[in-house]
Structure 1
Amino acid sequence: MDILLRGAAAVLDTDPLPSVTGHTDVLVEDGLISAVGTGLPSPPGAEVIDATGHIVLPGFVDTHRHTWQATIRAIAPDISFPGYLERVLGGLAPRHRPEDVYAGNLAGALECLNAGITTLLDWSHVQFSPAHTEATVAALRASGIRAVLGYCYGGPDGPEGIAKEGRRVHRAYDGVDPLLTLAIAALGPEIVGEAAAAHEWRLARDLGLPVTVHMGGHGRDSAERGLAFLRENGLFGPGITYVHPNHYTDEDLKRIADSGGTASVSPLVEVELGIGYPATGRARAAGVPTGLSADTVASGPGDMFGLMRAAYTLERARGSEVTTRDVLRMATIEGAEVVGLGEVTGSLRVGKQADLVLVRADSLATAPAHDPVGALVLSADTSCVDTVLVAGRVVKRDGRLLHHDVPAVLASLRESAAHVAA
C-alpha cells in the first residue's frame, strides 16, 4: 500500500548534510520514497498517516550487533573485555542451541525495530552448525528488519569448514530476500591467528563479499600488526569495516580512509569494557565514514538514543566540536554507508527504500523541540518512537509493534535464557 505521511512537525534529512523542514509530507510508493514536500497530493488508495506533532527521519542503522545475545541481556554489566571473551564467547555462546539463537535473534531484531533501528548488521559469531545459521536467518527474516548477516564460521572443521560452509551459506541465502544481504565477519587477524584469518579473508574475496572485522581494539601493537597483515597479503582496500578502531593513530585512520575502509564505533561498550577511548571524532576527521554500534546487550544498551548520546558526550569531553547533527548523520546515512547500503537507505532521497521513523515531538521528553535535531539526539528515547516503516511496510504503529505476538516472543526468550544461563 502506498502511504502519505502528512504534515510532520519536522522532517529531518541527512544527505548530504542534516537539514530540517517543517510541516512537510513524505510520500511512499511501491516501498520507495517518491516525494518529500509540502501539500503533496494523496494517490488513489494510499493510506494517509497523520504525522502532526512528529519528527520524521530515516531509520537508524546499527553497524555491529551480536543480536543473538538478547538471551543474555545484562548478564555481564561490570565485566572487562578479557572477562567478556572468557564468559560470553567461551562459556555462554556454546550453550546456545539453534532454537536459542532463533529466540535471541528474533527478540533482538524486534528490539531494534521498536527503537527505530531499521537496518542492522548482525555480527553473528554463534554459527556453530548449519542449523544455527538457518535459525539466525529465519529469525532475521521473520522480524521484518533490513539486515546484513555478518557470517562468522564457528564450526569444528577449521579452514576447510570456513570455505565449505561459507560457500553453502552464500548459495543458500544470497539474493533470496531483498531485506537480507551478506558479509563475512572475520575474527582474524587480531582475535584468531593469521593462518585462520587468511581463509576468512580469502572466502570473502572469492565470494565478492565485504568484510566486517574487529581490528584496532586490542592495543597499539596488535593494531599495527593487523594492518601489516592486510597490506602484506593484498587485502588492504575498500569493503572493510574496522570494528573498535580505538588504537589506530591518526595516520592509520587516514590510510584507512584513503583505502575506502569504514569504521564502526561502540561508544558505550568500548569504554565500559576497557577496550579504549572511542575513535569517533578522530575517524571522522580523517575522512573515515563512521557508524554507531550497540555491540552487545550483555553489557550495554540496545537503543540508538543511548549510543548517540554516548558518542556525543565522549567527543565533547575530549574537546571535539562534534555536533548533534554529526551524530545524527552517523546514526543514519553514515551508518548505511558503513554497512554497504548507502544507496539503499539512510536518507530521504527520492528513490531510496522507505525505511522511516516517526518520533513524537509532543511528548514530555521532547516538547517543545525548539531544535528538532537536538531534541532527537539529546532528549528522545525509545518511548518516543511512534511509527516505524521498513521498505514502506509499517512494522510499528502508535507505539506498538505489529505482526508479532510480543508476549510469545518474550516467553520463548525467557525459556532460552534459562537454558543458556543455567
Structure 2
Amino acid sequence: MTSTILIKNGVVIDTEPEPVVLGRADVRVDGDTITAVGPDLPAEPGAEVIDATGRLVLPGFVDTHRHTWQAGIRAVAPDIDFGGYMRRIMTELAPRHRPRDLHAGNLAGALECLDAGVTTLLDWSHAQYSPEHTEAAVRALRESGIRAVFGYCHAGRHGVLAEETRRVHDTHFGTPGLVTMAVAALGPEITSEEHALAEWRVAAELGLPVTAHLGGRGRQSAVKGLAFLEDHGLLATPTTFVHALYYTDEELKRLAAAGATASIAPVDEMNLGIGYPTTGDLRAAGIPTGLGADTVVCSPGDMFSQMRTAHLLERGRPGGAGLGFTTRDALRMATIEGAQVLGLGDVVGSLRPGKQADLQLLRTDTLGMAAAHDPIGAIVLNADTGCVDTVMVAGRVLKSRGQILHHDLAAVLASLAESAGAVVAV
C-alpha cells in the first residue's frame, strides 16, 4: 500500500523553470513521488500530515562536487593553497585512510549534507586504494539515505583502470537505487593522456557520465586539456567541468554546444587560490552550472554558504558587470540547475508533480529569518543550517523537527573521531 504524506500550510517555493514563491500551499507525496502542489489539498484518511506553518517548503539542495570522505579531516588546513592541499591532503593524509575511515567520513559527510538540506550529492571519491575502500564508501552513502552519484576515481595504473571500473559498476550498481555511479576522471590536466583516454572510454562503454577537474589550473592547462578532449571526440560523453575558470567566451560556447555542464565551488576556488569563480560567464554561455562544497578541509560544507559566496562574488565584479546575478539565480544553481548538471533534472531539483519527493522545510520563526519580505532572498542571504527543520528523500523523512532520524549520531560521531585521530596521528 502506498503511503501518503501531506505537507500543509507552508510557504511553497518551486524552482522550475525559474525560482518562484507560490505562496501558502500544500504538497502531496504518494510513496516516493510528488503528486500535487496547491492550496487546500484534501487530507485523505490515513494520510500523514506535516504541519508546515511558519516554514518554507522547497526542493532539497543539490551538491554537484564534494569529496565526502574528507569529513574526518575537517578544517585540518583552513588557510592552505592548492599546492599545499595536494601535498598535505592527497599525498600525506589520503593514503592513511583505511576502508573504515572512508566509511566513517562518507557516512558522517552524507549525514552532514542531509542535516543542511542537501538531498542529492555528487561524491567525488578519490581515495580508492582497494576494493574494500570502494565497498566502504558506497555502503556508507546507502546507509545514510541520501541520493548520491558516486564518482569513482581510479588513480592507479591505467592498464587496470577499465577492468576495475567495470568491476565496481557491476558489483555495486547492478540494480537501480538512490546511489548511482559516475566516472570521476583525473583527466588530461592531471594525469597522462593515455590514462585520460581510458577514463572517458570506459565511461562511454558503461553509459556513465564523467566528472573531472578541468579548466582550473591556469590558461595554458585549460587550452591543452580542452584540445585533447575535442580532438579525441570525448565530449560526446556527458562531462561536468569542475572549476572551469580559465576558458574564453568562445571556448565556453563550444562546451555548451557539446552539452557539457559545470560545477563551481566558490569558497574553495577563492580560498585555495584556484581562481575567481566564473559563475556568470558559464551560465551566460548556456552551460548548466551547479554549486559544490568541494572539501571541508578548508571550506564550509553547507549550500547556504556556497549560494551566498557565489552571489557575493558575481555581483561584486568590477564595474557592476555581475549585478544581473540574483538570489533567484543562486537558488536555481543550488536546486534544479544542479540536478541538471548531474543528469537528474527530470528526477529531482523542483517540486513538479511526478518528480521524486526530495524536499526540505526551513524555519522562519528565528531571529535571523523573521519578517523576511522576500523568502528566496532570505534563503540565500539569511538562512543557515539551523533553519533546516525537515528533510525528505524519495518520500522518506530523514530529518524532522531539527533532528536527524534513523541513525545513532553519537555512534557516528564517535567513529568519525576515532578515524580522525588515526588519520592525522604522526
Q: TM-score range by the shorter chain?
A: over 0.9
Correspondence for 1:290: 289
Q: Does 1:416 align with 2:419?
A: yes
Find the aligned partners of 1:251 and 1:363 in 2 and give their Cα distance. Answer: 46
What is the SS of the residue equivalent to 2:348? coil
Deviation of 1:45 (Å)? 1.2
Give the equivalent residue in structure 2 for 1:390: 393
Structure 2 residue 8 is the aligned partner of structure 1 residue 3: no
Matched residue, 1:172: 171
The residue correspondences of 1:309-328 to structure 2 (distance < 5 A) are 309-318=308-317, 319=320, 320=322, 321-328=324-331
1:406 is the counterpart of 2:409? yes
Determine the C-alpha separation between the residues in 2 that align with 1:247 and 1:43. 55
Alignment of 1:300-379 (within 5 A): 300-318=299-317, 319=320, 320=322, 321-379=324-382
Letter in 2 for 1:2: T
Q: 1:161 to 1:395 in 2, by over 3 A?
A: same
Query: Counterparts of 2:38 and 2:173 in 1: how far apart (Å)?
Result: 36
Please give the residue correspondences for 1:62-141 in structure 2 after superposition, counting only pairs within 5 Å: 62-141=63-142
User: How far is the alpha carbon of 1:175 from its aligned partner?
Assistant: 4.3
**Paired AA for residue 317 in structure 1:** G
| 2: CA distance, partners of 1:297 / 1:176 | 31
Answer yes or no: is 1:381 the counterpart of 2:384.
Answer: yes
Secondary structure, aligned partner of 1:35: strand
Amino acid of the residue matched to residue 383 of structure 2? A
Q: Secondary structure at the match of 2:235?
A: coil
Per-residue CA deviations over 1:381-408 (Å, capped at 9, x if unaligned) read 0000000000000000000000001111
Distance in 2 (alpha carbons) for counterparts of 1:159 and 1:224: 23
Tell me if structure 1 keeps the 8 A contact 2:7–2:27: yes
Residue 392 of structure 2 aligns to a residue in which SS? strand
1:145 aligned residue: 146
Mapped contact 2:204–2:237 kept (Cα < 8 A) = no
**2 CA distance for matches of 1:253 and 1:367?**
41
Tell me, yes or no, if the aligned pair for 1:129 and 1:154 is still in contact at 8 Å.
no
Unaligned ranges ≥5, structure 1: none
Where does residue 248 of structure 2 map in the other structure? 249
- SS of the aligned residue for 1:394 comes to strand
| Alignment-mate amino acid for residue 386 of structure 2 | S
Q: Give SS of 1:127's match.
A: coil
Q: What amino acid does structure 2 have at the position aligned with 1:3?
A: I
For residues 363 and 152 of structure 2, the distance between their equivalents in structure 1, rounded to whole angstroms, comes to 36
Shift, 1:241, TM fit: 0.2
Verify: 1:163 aligned to 2:139, yes or no: no
Give the drift of 1:44. Answer: 2.4
SS of 2:299's partner is: coil
Aligned-pair identity in percent equals: 64
| Equivalent residue letter for 2:229 | L
Secondary structure at the counterpart of residue 56 of structure 2: strand
SS of structure 2 residue aligned to 1:359: strand
Q: The residue matched to 2:58 in structure 1 has which SS?
A: strand
- Secondary structure of 2:236 counterpart: coil
Preserved CA contact (<8 Å) 1:97 1:132: yes
Deviations 1:7-41 (A, max 9, x none): 10x21100011111221000000110000000101
**Partner of 1:346: helix, strand, or coil?**
coil
> Deviation digits for residues 94-125 of structure 1, max 9, x if unmatched?
00000000000000000000000000000000
Q: Which residue of 2 is the match for residue 13 of structure 1?
A: 14
Query: Distance between the aligned counterparts of 2:221 and 2:392, measured in 1?
Result: 41
RMSD of the TM alignment (CA)? 0.9
5+ residue gaps, structure 2: none
Alpha carbons 1:175, 1:181 under 8 Å: kept: no
Q: What amino acid sits opposite 1:342 in the alignment?
A: G
Q: CA deviation at 1:217?
A: 0.1
Secondary structure class of the residue paired with 1:153: coil
The alignment partner of 1:387 has SS state of strand
Is the 8 Å Cα contact of residues 141 and 180 (structure 1) preserved in structure 2? yes
1:122-178 CA-partner distances (Å, limit 9, x unpaired): 0000111100000001000000000000000134xx123211110001101224352
Between 408-417 and 246-255, the greater mean CA deviation after superposition:
246-255
Cα shift at 1:234: 1.1
> Deviation digits for residues 250-307 of structure 1, max 9, x if unmatched?
1111111111000000000000000000011110011100000000000100000000
Structure 2 residue 203 is matched with structure 1 residue 204 = yes
Q: Indicate conservation of the 8 Å contact 1:238/1:259, yes or no.
A: no
Answer whether contact 2:93 2:423 (CA < 8 A) is retained.
yes
Provide the rounded CA distance (Å) in 2 between the counterparts of 1:115 and 1:378. Answer: 15
Measured in 2, the distance between the counterparts of 1:2 and 1:160 equals: 50
Counterpart contact for 1:121–1:149, Cα < 8 Å: yes
TM-score of the aligned structures, taking structure 2 as reference length: 0.97
Task: Report deviation, 1:238.
Answer: 5.1
Whole-angstrom CA distance in 2 between matches of 1:141 and 1:2 = 23
Alpha-carbon contact 1:6-1:52 (below 8 Å) kept: yes
Residues 155 and 186, structure 2, Cα contact 8 Å, conserved in 1: no
Asked if the contact 2:200/2:237 (under 8 Å) is kept, the reply is no
Report how many residues are paired. 419
1:34-49 matches, cutoff 5 A: 34-49=35-50
Letter in 2 for 1:115: A
Q: Relative to 1, partners in 2 of residues 1:175 and 1:340: Cα closer, same or farther, differing over 3 Å?
A: farther
TM-score (norm 1): 0.98
Give the distance between the partners of 2:376 and 2:62, measured in 1 at CA: 17
